[in-house]
Amino acid sequence: MFTKILTIKDKEKYDSLIIHPVQTWEWGDFQISQGHTVYRLGVFDKNDKIISAYSVSFHKIPKTKFSIGTILRGPDITDEMLNEVTKIAKTENAIFVKFEPDVINKKLGHFRNLKKSPKVAFYPHTFLIDLTKSENQLLEEMHPKTRYNIRIANRHGVEIREETNDKGFEIYLKILFETTKRQGFYLHTQKYHRDLWKQLKNTGMVHIMLASYQNEVLSAFMIFKLKDQLFYPYGASLHTNRQVMAQNLLMWEVIKLGQKLKCKTFDMWGCLGPRAKETENGFGFHRFKQGYGGQLVEYVGTYDLIINPTFYKIYNSVDKIRWKLLRFKAKISRK
């Protein structure tokens, strides 16, 4: 086997092997639009046939010559991958490269210079819903309270529609930022989300789903569809008229949309672990997703390939302080 850096002429071959949205060629273009450097790599067999592919993105650390690399939701880690990424990382003055393989229910082998990361990018667990089951089966596997809430939304006449266009996106974005401000979470800027929408809106991967009550949109989701998988990366709901349970019906209609799109699996894009506590940050989202009866799975984990050990220690210390300040700022803006 051998690995080489791919160019635009290899796009079709590359995307044919990619199974997660953040590894697609288009997502790489979005990263480039944010000022990051992206390498797409292909792994080839002895017959020059591409058998695996992944992207590594390098993010510059402001006011320094250093960068941080990431390979999020890529393939399983191999020695070949580590060797190739190390070479590129050194040319990019990377302090480390963060690996988060799209691999579940498996333990990672031992690799030199690779250590468990102190900070994750994605949640290490998620719920997976089997969309090959019938609607009746899916309803039976839901939590009784979730089924009840769906019935309430139907009784109140909550209306669900797909509006995958600029108007629908602006509605979704407004609700997303209202939700974030209310709950005190840190979120990327509006420019970030608009740039993402601009890059992905014509790919067929994105679906904007809205739930309305008395002509007011109460809940909005951005859904991704890639090959035979559906993903739920972003969702938001207003605090008004929560008694009509709009977001519960919206999620159920998204599940049915996945079936219409011939998807086999619905990845709910992260949750807490099997012993989640109500006091944990994010428990509300966890409980909401849990109600739909998906299988709780655990990814192989998050690991850092250390290129510069000295600056790696310094970076992690500074990053802890930075995130404390960001969370504090988010909480202050909530008041």
**pLDDT for residue 325:** 72
**pLDDT for residue 183:** 72
Compare 40 and 106 and report the one with higher pLDDT.
Answer: 40
To the nearest whole number, what is the mean pLDDT of the chain? Answer: 95
Angle of helix 144-155 relative to helix 246-260, nearest 10 degrees, comes to: 100
- Whether the per-residue pLDDT at 80 is higher than 60: the answer is yes
Mean pLDDT, residues 191-210 taken together = 97
**pLDDT for residue 315:** 95
Position 326 confidence tier, pLDDT thresholds 50, 70, 90 = low
pTM score above 0.85: yes
Mean pLDDT, residues 232-242 taken together = 95
Domains of the chain are 2-122+299-334 (3.40.630.30), 125-298 (3.40.630.30)
Contact status, residue 46 vs residue 1, Cβ threshold 8 Å:
yes
- Whether the per-residue pLDDT at 334 is higher than 60: the answer is no
Span 268-321, pLDDT tens digits: 999 999 999 999 988 999 999 999 999 999 999 999 999 999 999 999 999 888
Distance of CA 313 to the CA centre of its chain: 27
Mean pLDDT, residues 214-237 taken together = 97
Mean pLDDT, residues 219-233 taken together = 98
Contact status, residue 240 vs residue 218, Cβ threshold 8 Å:
yes
Integer Cα distance of 244 and 238 in angstroms: 12
Mean pLDDT, residues 236-262 taken together = 97
- Whether the per-residue pLDDT at 251 is higher than 90: the answer is yes
- Whether the per-residue pLDDT at 323 is higher than 70: the answer is no
Span 47-72, pLDDT tens digits: 999 999 999 999 999 999 999 999 99
Two structure tokens written together for 199: 């890059």
**Among candidate residues 130, 140, 78, the one with its CA nearest the CA of residue 103:** 78
